[in-house]
Amino acid sequence: MQAEYVIVGAGSAGCAIAYRLAEAGRKVTVIEHGGTDAGPLIQMPGALSYPMNMTRYNWGFESEPEAGLGGRRLATPRGKVLGGSSSINGMVYVRGHALDFDTWDAMGARGWAYADVLPYYKRMENWDAGGHGGDPDWRGKSGPMHISRGKRDNPLVKAFVTAGAQAGYPLTDDYNGQQQEGFGPYDATIHKGERWSAYKAYLKPALATGNVTLIRGFVRRVEIKDGRATGVEIERKGAVEIIAASKEVILSASSINSPKLLMLSGIGPAAHLGAHGIAVVADRAGVGQNLQDHLELYIQQAAIKPVSLFKYWNLLGKAWVGARWLFTKTGVGASNQFESAAFIRSKAGVQYPDIQYHFLPIAVRYDGQAAAEGHGFQAHVGPMRSKSRGAVTLRSADPAAAPKVQFNYMSHPEDWEDFRTCIRLTREIFAQEAFAPYRGHEIQPGADEVSDAQLDAFIRDHAESAYHPCGTCKMGAPDDPMAVVDPECRVIGVEGLRVADSSIFPQITNGNLNGPSIMTGEKAADHILGKQPLARDNAQPWINPDWQDSQR
């Protein structure tokens, strides 16, 4: 089989790249290990806790025991399905803060400043606020990726934003527009009541052009001859074969699998490869290093009125929600229920938000278990820019073996201070007048947990990953010894090989990573095609004028 370009992974970035290459008339083969995204559990936004807990759709990675979290192993789901993690995620759409990308540029990812990436966000978006406000000048209107907002008709969802204002925080009508900082509505990758994944937006139309071939297979390694990637070795139907690429191989296999495949192909830290008997093609110390993630806590409050989604948390309620969604694509099932957002700064002297909130009008765990208490609400809260760094390393040279994933969560002393701040700021928000008609007792941590030691124990036992791993194939200057790819996503030291997914982020961005991952695919496609990047957009983001002197 012969293609000009072989893309490994039909996920957020890979689908976008396939679409843009097909649009330019290139012949592309996309290889994906997972299967179809058909079925109500993926398509119904309200059912989001199911696919990410199903081995059919999820690679099922988990971290090594995390010393900072009492030796717990944390789930690290990655999508193993058409659309990748965009088919099993929470559908929250966040671009990231403008200064995140200016930081990338300053770290050596030249040409990835906010002015450079904003045009790609506009190109990918098909934005519909549905009459719910927003910032049209900052948004794209005709891209493949549909972005919408929930109805926000639950009173708790509105109370959260009002409480933020009462606590003295700014409001923002569009955190993806000029002003991220503040309380306001969430954007979601939902279209007409259904999940709108990268597969639907990009790969499905790309396949329809006839320029893209989709192969179901398990990629074992990249084939490299005389320092050049010439194809990939895959296993399918019990046989091993080579899928050749006449021009380039592009890894878009996730921040866990992309570094794994590089190392299995001889690209990575020489000593680590040698320890597994892998011949070194390119000694790149940064492969698998620089692993970052967002951790979060669920601060839960009981509700004294039956206003939460708990009323549907029974067999009859779920049947009603499911039936209504199945026949009309409306109702509770048509929303991911993350409808109110907040991005705030933890203290004076922090230039842009470093705490994110997802508000949920029910007290529930990510595995779908509702709090036994009954009616309640919760805020998912966590710091955005932890200084802790981990690594993805090989467990063995066997491609079938899962890699070792060690985040080193909470290994930096500032993490503890930041999380205690998150808990205390959340309690203050929940104590505002807006919640007075609904507020019962604090379910967790519990009102008696107030000392640093008590809060630290709660963090250790209850912090959960927000499922935003990134950074393991860092993009940087070609002379940076820890950079894996250059600013055009080319693997340094190997010809004809690129990586384009969240693994190339030099530093984690504010918020959920699906948006930046798709943007990465969009921008990488122009580099692959040798096109002039889109013209810079010098729109100026809002930075709190009092950031040096005040927290809000």
145 is in an annotated binding site: no
Is 441 known to be catalytic?
no
* CA 268 to mean position of chain CA atoms: 24
90 is in an annotated binding site: yes
Residue positions counted in the chain: 552
CA distances to 43, 239, 258, 542 from 144, in Å: 17, 36, 25, 27
Sheet strand arrangement including 145-149: 125-128, 145-149, 187-188
399 — phi, psi (to 5°)? -60, -25
Let me know: does 5 contact 21? Beta carbons within 8 Å. Answer: yes
- Interacting residues of 297 by C-beta distance below 8 A, sequence separation 6+: 380, 381, 382, 419, 422, 423, 458, 459, 462, 463, 464
Let me know: does 417 contact 455? Beta carbons within 8 Å. Answer: no
* CA 459 to mean position of chain CA atoms: 22
b/e sequence 80-117, b meaning 16+ C-beta within 10 Å: bbbbbbbbbbbbbbbbbbbbbbbbbbebbbbebbbbbb
Say how far apart CA 500 and CA 491 lie, in whole Å: 10
110 — phi, psi (to 5°)? -65, 140
Residue 526: CA count within 13 A, CB half-sphere: 18
- Catalytic option among 97, 191, 380, 468: 468
94 is in an annotated binding site: no
Token pair 């990758």 is at which residue?
189
Beta strand spans in 217-287 (E): 218-225, 228-236, 239-251, 267-268, 282-283
Say how far apart CA 318 and CA 327 lie, in whole Å: 14
CA angle 109, 413, 515 (to 5 degrees): 35
- DSSP assignment letter at 87: G
* AA letter at 365: R
DSSP for 39-86, written as a single string: SHHHH-GGGTTTGGG-TTTB--EEPPPBGGGTTBPPEE--B-BTTGGG
Tell me the CA end-to-end span of the chain in Å, nearest whole number. 59
Let me know: does 234 contact 220? Beta carbons within 8 Å. Answer: yes
232 is in an annotated binding site: no
H helix and E strand count, the chain: 13, 25
Say how far apart CA 196 and CA 208 lie, in whole Å: 18
92 is in an annotated binding site: yes
Q: Kindly list the catalytic residues.
A: 468
Q: List binding-site positions for FAD.
A: 81, 89-92, 219
Extract the annotated binding site: 81, 89-92, 219
